Structure 1
């Protein structure tokens, strides 16, 4: 079959149930070879999933997709627009792909999990999820939810998360350890980055395979220097299952439930997430307080990292109607530091700003240079912090108002320790009723 012209656009209309009403010849022919026809459900799964997502959210959706027949796959760009009678599609790109998916590590049989494939957008929200084998949940309900609703991510021995580093850099990743929340099964995630016609990251297409047997993960009886790491290994899996099951109950996924039971389940899930966050903080705390702890010293762009950190928190902010005003795409602020640790600091600062900004408010991120210092400023519209409490917010396990929902009281302590390990610092400028402005400074570079 002749290769399609990448500039061609094929249009189609679907009704509210996803049945094909009309289509241009190219798309109609591809759908027919995949077993579809006019008046039947669209036979191109990824395209149909994006159409359903646009219809359900009632907003336009523009994302990449892969579709094909038994012999050919095409890298497509899908524009799905809700219309009164259903969804209008524009399909462009039509780039022929090598046979099937990219190669992934051969880790063995999936056993009870089966062979799982998934695709996300750039914010790691699921746009498709294909499950093989018996699973205790409905995959269709997870479309549009974060990938972490299915998989609880686990850190490497050095505290890193391959998926986080890859997302920040827009790169492929493999070997990301995770736990399937609803079953407790250990898996490894691998994925290839997807890009649009302007070479921007638009998401990931990947697989999950069962991890090799890791043996007995019970906590050893002797408490040593790696106590937090071993505590995390022992607690992460059961806590992840508790959170997942509590979320399932609070969502009434198994049917109607009394309102007070739903509230109990939500409280359980919230407490479980708090404990998981505390485990992560304890692991970081243990690392930074070691005498041999060192941060990398490499060229970084603070404006670029700020944009990436804001992108990682975009869904959380959107859920509360908060806008994050990040540095422009053309803005740069060269500095010296550890990319992964700078990203960790900014995720913490921006996450705090989103948490304390009222619904419908705004978080500002600005960069500036003064002499030999490069600075990122994160400002919120929260209630502000009295001058007498400025030093306290950076102390270990300190929280200004313990009654407010929040973290462990370690985030800012860890962030400042990391900043100082890179030759920089974090400062605060705030007053009651005036919000808070946190400034991360690092050595500048020309």
Structure 2
């Protein structure tokens, strides 16, 4: 049996305000071509099919078209929810979907009831462990164990018990959405640390032929049979160097026979630049980045005016901008009360302008600040006098 291990599709996700739905449908729809070319029997999605618990209608439609293409290419699908999904919504009509080859494993009570598929060597049991938020999960499973490690340990105990009751030679695959110790996170994953340590040891998953992990967005191998496929697209600039891919998993009569990487297309590359605004705009070496998503760190001593608009004139897909003056922090790291203590309103206002602009106010600007503060003070005195007069009357 040949499986395609995927995860973290995050259909409907935005990238710094840019709609990724068309790119997602292109890349994910291409999985259907892999199914045909590699003779894939099953495509698994180890959590985070959607980016939101209540996805938009457009996201649902795009996802449905992708799943239809994969199914039409000849593969069955097994999907389990991640921390971004709503398990009850994702699992709606699961029994009807299974009849068409789409298996949605979303219920904690059924995590030890696998999807059983057969090949020339016999049965393969695919267990879908939905994302287990520790407190609700432990109450649902009626256990005293706490934390991510506790609930996943109990889940895997139930999986192994079920597997032990099956016929000899039954091979096993587990889908799980978790942060396994040794995994390398990126900036785009939502933390799952709730009331404790979010990581779980890899040994929790011992005893099965292959574990298809989801949650971390970089493809990685923790053990030969324990892997993250990563997300199919980059969802943060921390993923710029990722080689987005899926794992092609082959099972033979003895269990895991091999795992190979299959890289995915990159709809739009990610790049970062650093320098002054004039340097970034003028350097011909950056010509090749015009069609990239771009994050720019500006080092100008004074914050440039309208910088992002000017950047987009040359780089239409510049989506993120930081200003980090080359001289380092411009003001001491003080609390507000510490910065204002012992200073007049005029001195505080001057310092504020300097911190924001990267230079001291000019004499003219300083005079305008003084005039504005005096005007406000006069208005406050007049208002106070009026209030006192009203009370006397």
TM-score (norm 1): 0.19
- From the CA coordinates, give the structure whose radius of gyration is larger: 2
TM-score (norm 2): 0.21
Q: Name the structure, 1 or 2, with higher relative contact order (CA <8 Å, separation 6+).
A: 2
Higher helix residue share = 2
